[in-house]
Amino acid sequence: MTDYRCINTEQACELIDQGAQIVDIRDEGSYAELHISNAYNLNNHNLPEYIGQADFDKPLIVCCYHGISSQSAAAYLAHQGFDEVYSLDGGFEAWRTQCPDRCER
């Protein structure tokens, strides 16, 4: 895949249940307050480390606040060589409303 696709929360849940990776690009404080279970807080400082240890063959879901910033991050990660990259429509705000049982602190 040379680009990314946008997916809704239901599709994201299915992918996560199948072993997809999740990165949360929100600021550290927002991430620490509440985030998708098992999400990795990705930022400019830990990006090289993440790319160095990530599984490029597993689907990757990118989450931001409202689903806007995640699109450019998803495009960037797709161009880094990840096979399947997705941007979460509605971002974490949609996720926490629709999937509150799949959030953690």
pLDDT at 19: 96
Find, among 36, 10, 37, 38, the residue nearest to 92 by Cα.
36
Query: Which listed residue (13, 64, 99, 103) is catalytic?
Result: 64
Q: Is the dihedral of CA 80, 85, 91, 97 positive or negative?
A: negative
Question: What digits encode the pLDDT tens for the residues 16-38?
Answer: 999 999 999 999 999 999 999 99
Give the model's pLDDT for residue 1: 47
pLDDT of residue 2: 58
pLDDT tens string 48-83: 999 999 999 999 999 999 999 999 999 999 999 999
Global confidence as pTM: 0.95
What is the sign of the dihedral through the CA atoms of 11, 17, 21 and 22? positive
**Residue 97: predicted pLDDT:** 95
Determine whether 64 is an active site residue. Answer: yes
Is the model's pLDDT at 91 over the cut of 70? Answer: yes
- The rounded distance, in Å, linking the Cα atoms of 41 and 81 is 19
